[in-house]
């Protein structure tokens, strides 16, 4: 399923906009589907290529009675916005243009006097084209075409002066012209090739912002004129989202949409850059003899990327020492290979960083990273909305994944409506789209030889344990797992830390290994998540510019505990620390 283009029809009379429903969306769907190039572009990525084109319609600035009876089929391929503008500022239309990637804007030429009077529509269309060059601007009116205005961008009401192709026909041609623009064509193809399946305006807005950033900041560097070379900021995009929201795919989409796509995209996993030497060697390269086993010169990923793109995946996992190493590189693109500090090189690649929202927020709050470094990292942030905030995308992705995965195993399996509704209600807080794919894949592998339609009963066992909940004194099976309980297998770090916690509890409390593991599971899944929210809220102190860092919070908590209990001796049992040790700790802190 490819990128979804948006269309806008703008008027100050709601009766004109109402008259377009349902005939115009239906004619537009037929026209778009009949056009071979447009139809193929809109259907690209679908399993079938001959299905009908579906148009979603939304009214803005007025209440539409006809629209309440209009129902688009899902999934839709085009989003049509009917916009009523009152006054000459066109604020609503401008807001929409900045939120989504529009293919065409159709405006009435003559608005009422309070909307700018004669030719107000022409001024808005010209402005839209100037700010968004990829948008096809069109005018329609009962009045003659303005002098000097291109005939192909003007629609005359009625058929005076010859047979008119109608509004749907002209808009279809405008969409074809929009898709023929090289940046748009490349972007739309890349969305389909990356397998980005969506129906929500939230992810559509993210893609629109990505397209704009690719146009503004993704151009290949050019040689500076003159003899000197001034410092230039390195183009740096920060993709911030939860695990499984597709940040890696969006980085590849950004690369494909920029002029840098002719050069490679080099990828560095920050999970592997565990120390300063390894980081500098992999990113910037090294000279022979720079360290043990450095038997030859190596250029590094930054040099290998050339004028393309360097992706620092999972940037939040970099060690703290990396901030000093990357500071100059992210500021102006300067770096040096390991072992040749006297030579300063200039990077031509743009940088894309991906971070997980939770861990990155925690690192920012802890104060580990210098503010000057954060200012360079977060120069160009783009937030990726989580899947649970896009239920319509859960629907689209689930149905698409069911077809794709079943085809991979040689079956034809679809999802029942109750299965989709059950999935839409899930939090998907662990790994978003990956979690959704895992659930569907497991269910298909288990039941593909038994059924052709998967119901909620088939999917539910793969979403985690069923927990009992009480309502009105009656115990029932929960449709969702508790918020704190993991619904998918733990990752490596989570398994290691739970094992470490069980070992700590076993030694500190004299428990058996099995008992300690069971108690850690209860603490991590139920008790501690509740405490965590309270602690996070308590660390936000009015008057401070950032939350209290956790190391400082630990010292404050020990001070409070000893104070509340009346001194070191009464606190000895509760804190599990000898009274003499507590006294020495207090004396040391007081003398610093």
pTM here? 0.74
Task: Check pLDDT > 50 for residue 109.
Answer: yes
- 439 shares a domain with 304: no
The pLDDT, as a whole number, for residue 483 is 42
Looking at per-residue confidence, does 59 or 117 come out higher? 59
Q: Locate tokens 């030719």: which residue?
A: 119
d(CA 414, CA 448): 10
What rounded mean pLDDT belongs to the chain?
Answer: 83
- 398 shares a domain with 376: no
Of the candidates 106, 103, 81, the one whose C-alpha atom is nearest the C-alpha of residue 92 is: 81
- 354 shares a domain with 393: no
Structural domain boundaries enclosing 105: 6-189
Of the candidates 199, 198, 186, 176, the one whose C-alpha atom is nearest the C-alpha of residue 33 is: 176
d(CA 166, CA 27): 9
The domain boundary residue, chosen from 356, 383, 410: 383
Question: Domain with 397 in it: what CATH number?
Answer: 1.10.8.60
Of the candidates 182, 315, 307, 313, the one whose C-alpha atom is nearest the C-alpha of residue 249 is: 313
Task: Check pLDDT > 80 for residue 407.
Answer: yes
The pLDDT, as a whole number, for residue 570 is 83
The pLDDT, as a whole number, for residue 479 is 41
Task: Tell me, yes or no, whether 337 lies in a domain.
Answer: yes
How many domains are contained in the chain? 4
d(CA 389, CA 145): 45
Judged by average pLDDT, the poorest of 204-208, 362-366, 398-402 is 362-366
- 538 shares a domain with 424: no
The pLDDT, as a whole number, for residue 498 is 84
pLDDT band at 273 (very low <50, low <70, confident <90, very high): confident
Task: Tell me, yes or no, whether 532 lies in a domain.
Answer: yes
Question: Domain with 242 in it: what CATH number?
Answer: 3.40.50.300
The pLDDT, as a whole number, for residue 467 is 40
The pLDDT, as a whole number, for residue 228 is 47
The pLDDT, as a whole number, for residue 387 is 94
Task: Check pLDDT > 50 for residue 480.
Answer: no
- 265 shares a domain with 368: yes
Task: Check pLDDT > 80 for residue 131.
Answer: yes
Phi, psi (rounded to 5 degrees) for 187:
-65, -45
pLDDT band at 232 (very low <50, low <70, confident <90, very high): low
- 123 shares a domain with 44: yes
pLDDT above 90 covers what percent of the chain? 38
Task: Check pLDDT > 80 for residue 357.
Answer: yes
- 205 shares a domain with 72: no
Task: Tell me, yes or no, whether 195 lies in a domain.
Answer: no
Q: List, in sequence order, the alpha helices (H) in 74-200.
A: 91-99, 120-131, 166-180, 182-193
- 333 shares a domain with 469: no
- 206 shares a domain with 141: no
Read off the pLDDT of residues 529-588 as tens digits, 9 standing for 90 and up: 878 878 888 888 777 777 888 888 888 888 988 888 888 888 887 888 888 888 888 888
Q: CA gyration radius for the chain?
A: 29
d(CA 74, CA 563): 62
- 367 shares a domain with 516: no
- 379 shares a domain with 508: no
Residue 226: count other Cβ atoms within 10 Å of its Cβ: 7
Task: Tell me, yes or no, whether 367 lies in a domain.
Answer: yes
Task: Tell me, yes or no, whether 535 lies in a domain.
Answer: yes
pLDDT band at 495 (very low <50, low <70, confident <90, very high): confident
Question: Domain with 110 in it: what CATH number?
Answer: 3.40.50.2300
- 409 shares a domain with 532: no
Read off the pLDDT of residues 246-268 as tens digits, 9 standing for 90 and up: 999 999 999 988 888 889 999 99
Judged by average pLDDT, the poorest of 24-33, 151-160, 209-218 is 151-160
Task: Tell me, yes or no, whether 226 lies in a domain.
Answer: no
Task: Tell me, yes or no, whether 1 lies in a domain.
Answer: no
Task: Tell me, yes or no, whether 391 lies in a domain.
Answer: yes
d(CA 494, CA 399): 31
For residue 182, cis peptide bond before it (omega within 30 degrees of 0): no
The domain boundary residue, chosen from 351, 383, 415: 383
pLDDT band at 46 (very low <50, low <70, confident <90, very high): low
């Amino acid at each position: 399923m490819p990128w979804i283009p948006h269309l806008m029809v703008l008027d100050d009379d709601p009766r004109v906009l109402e008259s377009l429903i349902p005939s115009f969306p239906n004619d537009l769907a037929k026209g778009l589907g009949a056009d071979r190039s447009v139809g193929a572009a809109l259907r690209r990525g679908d399993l079938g290529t001959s299905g009908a084109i579906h148009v979603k319609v939304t009214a803005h600035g007025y209440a539409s009675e006809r629209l309440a009876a209009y129902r688009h089929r899902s999934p839709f391929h085009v989003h049509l916005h009917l916009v009523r503008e009152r006054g000459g500022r066109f604020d609503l239309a401008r807001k929409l243009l900045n939120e989504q990637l529009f293919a065409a804007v159709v405006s009435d030429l003559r608005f009422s006097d309070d909307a700018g009077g004669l030719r107000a529509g022409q001024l808005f269309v010209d402005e839209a084209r100037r700010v968004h060059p990829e948008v096809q601007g069109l005018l329609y009116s009962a009045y003659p075409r303005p002098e000097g205005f291109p005939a192909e961008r003007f629609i005359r009401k009625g058929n005076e002066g010859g047979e008119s192709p109608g509004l749907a026909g002209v808009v279809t041609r405008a969409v074809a012209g929009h898709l023929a623009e090289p940046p748009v064509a490349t972007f739309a193809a890349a969305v389909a090739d990356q397998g980005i399946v969506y129906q929500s305006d939230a992810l559509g807005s993210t893609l629109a912002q990505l397209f704009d950033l690719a146009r503004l900041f993704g151009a290949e560097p050019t040689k500076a004129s003159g003899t000197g070379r001034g410092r230039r900021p390195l183009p740096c995009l920060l993709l911030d989202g939860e695990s499984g929201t597709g940040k890696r795919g969006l980085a590849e989409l950004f690369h494909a949409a920029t002029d840098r796509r002719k050069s490679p995209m080099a990828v560095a996993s920050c999970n592997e850059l565990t120390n300063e030497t390894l980081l500098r060697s992999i990113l910037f390269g090294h000279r022979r003899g720079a360290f043990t086993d450095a038997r030859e010169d190596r250029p590094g990923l930054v040099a290998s990327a050339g004028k393309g793109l360097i992706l620092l995946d999972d940037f939040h996992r970099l060690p703290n020492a990396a901030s000093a190493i990357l500071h100059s590189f992210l500021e102006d693109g300067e770096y040096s290979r390991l072992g040749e500090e006297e030579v300063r090189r200039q990077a031509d690649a743009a940088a894309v960083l991906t971070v997980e929202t939770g861990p990155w927020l925690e690192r920012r709050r802890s104060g580990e990273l210098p503010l000057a470094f954060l200012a360079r990292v977060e120069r160009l942030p783009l937030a990726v909305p989580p899947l649970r905030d896009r239920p319509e995308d859960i629907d689209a992705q689930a149905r698409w994944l069911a077809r794709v995965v079943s085809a991979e195993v040689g079956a034809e399996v679809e999802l029942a409506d109750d299965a989709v509704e059950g999935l839409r209600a899930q939090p998907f807080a662990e790994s978003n789209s990956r979690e959704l794919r895992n659930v569907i894949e497991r269910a298909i592998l288990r039941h593909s030889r038994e059924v052709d339609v998967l119901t909620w009963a088939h999917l539910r066992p793969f979403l985690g344990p069923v927990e009992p909940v009480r309502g009105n004194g009656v115990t029932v099976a929960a449709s969702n797992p508790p918020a704190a309980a993991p619904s998918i297998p733990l990752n490596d770090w989570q398994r290691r830390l739970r094992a470490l916690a069980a070992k700590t509890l076993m030694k500190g409390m004299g428990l058996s290994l099995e008992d300690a593991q069971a108690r850690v599971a209860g603490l991590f899944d139920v008790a501690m998540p509740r405490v965590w929210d309270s602690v996070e809220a308590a660390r936000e102190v009015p008057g401070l510019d950032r939350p209290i860092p956790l190391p400082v919070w630990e010292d404050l908590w020990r001070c409070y505990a000893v104070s509340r209990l009346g001194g070191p001796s009464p606190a000895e049992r509760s804190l599990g620390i000898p009274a003499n040790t507590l006294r020495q700790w207090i004396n040391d802190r007081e003398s610093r």
